[in-house]
Amino acid sequence: MALFLFCALPVTGLTALLTPPGQSPDEPAHMVRAAGLLDGQIIAHRATGTDPYTGKPYPVTGVLVDQGLAQVSFGADTPFDGHLVFSAANRQALLAQPPAHQLIFGEISNTGVYFPLTYLPATLGMGVANALGVRPYFALISGRLCMAAAYLGLGLLAIYLAAYGEALLLAVLLLPMALFLAGTLNQDGVLLALTCLACALLTRATRRARLWGLAVFVAVLGSKQPYILLLATFLEPLFAKGWPRRLGEVVVAALPVTLWVAVLAALTLVPSLKQPYHPGPLFTGDPNLLLDRTNAAANLHILLAQPSRFWTLPWVTQEMFGRDKLPQMIGMLGLLTIQMARPVYWLWEIALLCAAAGLLFTSRPAGLAGGRWRDGLFTLALMFLTYWLLNIVFYLSWTNVGMNWIDGIQGRYLLPMVPFLLFALPSLGRGPRLGPVLMAMPAALMGVFDILYVPWLLVKNFYLH
C-alpha cells in the first residue's frame, strides 16, 4: 500500500495539473457526461444534430450541461512541429473563460452509454468548484483531482483487502497508462481500480466478500458491458460446495446489467457518425454507396452470411494490429500520441511477468483450494472469450460497414482483464514461497522511475516548444 501511494500520488496529481484540457482520450465527452450529472442528467437522451460533413440532420445522444464547463473541456492548443502544444496564450485563453451556467445540449454519443456512478468523483469536484464561483478551467482541474483521489482510494483498498496477488494488483495499478487515465476525467482509471477491488474481494474466498466483489464488478459492467463474461469467474471454485448458490448469485448480478442495456437501447443508443465512406469489401450491395455512420444490422448480416467471420475477423485484426496493443496498454499518453522509450516498455513487460509469475508460488485461501488448474483454465477461457466479444462488439458498433478487419480497439481496453490473472494462474503447491513485496519490486522500481518520467513526457510534449 505504501509503495502504491508513494508512486501513484505524484503521477496522478501531476497528470491532472499538466495535461491540457481535451488531451486525454475522449475527455470532452467524459467531461460533459460528468458535468451533466450536476443538473440531474442521469440518462443521456436522443436528439437531432447536424452532420458536420454533409450538413444533414442525424440522430445524436447527449445531455444538458453547464455551458462554461462544456466549452473549456475542448481546451485550446497550438500546432507546432507536427504536434499540439499548450502555450501560455492557450492557457490564458482558457483562464479567461468566465463561468457560464446556462444549460446547453452536449453531444456525447460515445460516452452517453456509460453508467454514471464512476463519474461521481468528477461531478463532486466540479460541483464544489461551481459553488465557489471559480472559472471553468479550475473546475475541470478540480474534477480531475477528485477522479485521481478516487483512484488512489480504491487502489489502496484493493491492495489492503487482497488475500493474495498484491504484487500483480500493484503492477496493474502503477502502469503509466492507468495512472495517466486516473489523473483525467476519463473514467477508465476508476473502472480499472474498481476491477482490481472486485478481484481482491474475490480472493478472500468468503461468501460476504464474494457478494461485495460481485456488486463492485456490476458497477464496472454498467460502463463496460462486453466484459460481462468475466462475471462467471465468481462461480469459482467450479463445482465445489455451494456451486448452485454461486450460480444463482451470478445470474442475479447480471440482471441489472441487462436492464441497463435495455434502457440504453430504448433511450440512448444511436449509430456512430463517420466521415462519408464507401462500404468495405465484405459488403455485397452497391460498392459506390456513400455512408456516413455505422450500421450494426448491416455488419451483423455480414457476419451471419459467413459465420466463420465471427472468428476470422478478430484473428485477422489481431495479426494486423495485435503487436500495438501491449504498448498501448502499458502506456501511450495523450491522445495515443505520446510514446515512451522502447526500453521502458520492455522493463514494464518484465515487471508484469514477475508479478504474474509470483502467483505460481503464492498460497491461496482454503476456500480456493479445490480444482485450481480447472479453475485457472476456465478463467483463461473467459479472458479470451471476453477479448473476442470485445472485437465483435466493435465490429457491430464502430467499424465501417463491410470492412474486412475490426476498427477501434485500443490497448487500454485490455487493462480490466489483467487483474483476473489472479484466478487464471494457480499455485503450483510446491517450491519456494515468495512474499508479495519481493515480487512487486520490479513494478515498484518502475513506478518510482515513472514519478519523474511520466510528468517529463507530458512537459516535453505539451510545453517545450
Q: Residues 6 or more apart from 294 whose CB is under 8 A from it?
A: 271, 272, 274, 396, 397, 398, 399, 400, 401
Q: Distance between CA atoms of 444 and 169, rounded to whole angstroms?
A: 11
Query: What 3 state SS string does 122-166 have?
Result: HHHHHHHHHHHCCCHHHHHHHHHHHHHHHHHHHHHHHHHHCCCCH
Dump pLDDT digits (tens) for 118-132.
999 999 999 999 999
Q: Which amino acid is at 149?
A: A
User: What domain range includes position 261?
Assistant: 2-21+146-272+295-462
The count of structural domains within the chain is: 1
Dump pLDDT digits (tens) for 167-187.
999 999 999 999 999 999 999
Q: Output the CA torsion sign for 117, 123, 125, 131.
A: negative
Residue located via cell numbers 485521481:
148
10 Å Cβ neighbour count for 259?
10
Region 33-56: what's the mean pLDDT?
86
**Is residue 428 one of the residues assigned to a domain?**
yes
The x, y and z cell numbers of residue 431, run together, are: 517450491
Residue 370's pLDDT is what? Answer: 43
Highest mean pLDDT out of 242-246, 251-255, 373-377: 251-255
> Residue 28 — very low, low, confident or very high, per pLDDT cuts 50/70/90?
very high
User: For 289-316, b where at least 16 C-beta lie within 10 A, e where not — what string?
Assistant: eebebbbbebbeebbeeeeebeeebbee
pTM exceeds 0.85 for this model: yes
**Is residue 289 one of the residues assigned to a domain?**
no
Q: Distance between CA atoms of 294 and 275, rounded to whole angstroms?
A: 10
**Is residue 278 one of the residues assigned to a domain?**
no
**Is residue 211 one of the residues assigned to a domain?**
yes
Dump pLDDT digits (tens) for 104-153.
999 898 888 999 999 999 999 999 999 999 999 999 999 999 999 999 99
| For the chain, percent of residues with pLDDT exceeding 90 | 72
Cα Rg of the chain, angstroms: 22
Residues in the chain: 465
- Which residue(s) pair with 375 in the sheet? none
**Is residue 84 one of the residues assigned to a domain?**
no
Quote the DSSP letter at residue 242. T
Q: Distance between CA atoms of 145 and 164, rounded to whole angstroms?
A: 30
Torsion-angle region of 279 (φ positive above 0: left; ψ -120 to 50: alpha; else: beta): beta
What are the C-alpha distances in Å from 305 to residues 278, 290, 310, 377? 20, 22, 10, 32
> Residue 374 — very low, low, confident or very high, per pLDDT cuts 50/70/90?
confident
User: For 115-130, b where at least 16 C-beta lie within 10 A, e where not — what string?
Assistant: bbbbbbbbbbbbbebb
Helix (H, G, I), strand (E, B) or coil at 87: coil
> Residue 371 — very low, low, confident or very high, per pLDDT cuts 50/70/90?
very low
Q: Which amino acid is at 185?
A: L
User: End-to-end alpha-carbon separation of the chain, Å?
Assistant: 38
Residue located via cell numbers 479550475:
138
The x, y and z cell numbers of residue 248, run together, are: 444463482
User: For 92-104, b where at least 16 C-beta lie within 10 A, e where not — what string?
Assistant: eebeebeeeeebe
What is the DSSP secondary-structure string of 275-339? Answer: EEE---TT--S-TT--EEE--HHHHHHHHHHSTTHHHHHHHHHHHHHHHHHHHHHHHEETTTTEE
**Is residue 92 one of the residues assigned to a domain?**
no
Residue 369's pLDDT is what? Answer: 45
Residue 464's pLDDT is what? Answer: 84
**Is residue 356 one of the residues assigned to a domain?**
yes
* CB 260, CB 115: distance < 8 Å: yes
What are the C-alpha distances in Å from 53 to residues 49, 74, 273, 276? 12, 20, 10, 7
Greater pLDDT, 196 or 237: 196
Residue 430's pLDDT is what? Answer: 55
The x, y and z cell numbers of residue 427, run together, are: 499455485
Contacts 24+ apart (CB under 8 A), 441-445: 441/354, 442/171, 442/347, 442/350, 442/351, 442/354, 442/355, 443/167, 443/170, 443/171, 443/174, 443/351, 443/352, 443/354, 443/355, 444/3, 444/7, 444/170, 444/174, 445/351
Backbone angles phi, psi at 184, to 5 degrees: -125, -175
Greater pLDDT, 84 or 291: 291
Q: Distance between CA atoms of 227 and 387, rounded to whole angstroms?
A: 8
